[in-house]
């Protein structure tokens, strides 16, 4: 191998190593920026929205065991009954 071939190979190796490290460096910078933005958003939200505005949590005793459906649980439409009789095998999205 001559000197020119060795230099080209060495340069290619150094370039590949440098470029592979760039991804990690860029990710670290963008990750840090994202964390800073999340912190600012959290602080701004706490200033504007009271803590009680969040969805309340309930104990198991406060949660009803019965959940009634909205609407009909067994429609009487002929199209529905035909699909139901065939185990919905012919159902297609429009």
For the stretch 39-62, pLDDT in tens is: 999 899 888 888 777 788 889 999
Confidence bin at 25 (pLDDT 50/70/90): low
Q: How many CB atoms lie within 10 A of CB 84?
A: 13
- Is the overall model pTM greater than 0.75, yes or no? no
Contact 83, 75 (CB under 8 A): no
CA distance 88 to 75: 14
Compute the chain's Rg from CA coordinates: 31
Q: What is the pLDDT of residue 77?
A: 92
SS (H, E, C) 32-68: HHHHHHHHHHHHHHHHHCCHHHCCCCCCHHHCCCCCC
Q: What is the pLDDT of residue 45?
A: 87
What tens digit of pLDDT does each residue of 26-43 get? 677 778 888 999 999 989
């Amino acid at each position: 191998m001559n000197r020119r071939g060795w230099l080209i190979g060495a340069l290619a190796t150094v370039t590949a190593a440098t470029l592979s490290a760039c991804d990690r460096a860029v990710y670290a910078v963008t990750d840090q920026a994202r964390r800073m933005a999340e912190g600012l958003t959290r602080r701004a939200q706490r200033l504007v929205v009271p803590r009680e505005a969040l969805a309340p949590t309930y104990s198991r005793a406060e949660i009803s065991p019965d959940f009634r459906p909205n609407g009909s649980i067994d429609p009487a439409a002929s199209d529905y009954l035909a699909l139901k009789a065939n185990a919905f095998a012919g159902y297609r999205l429009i």
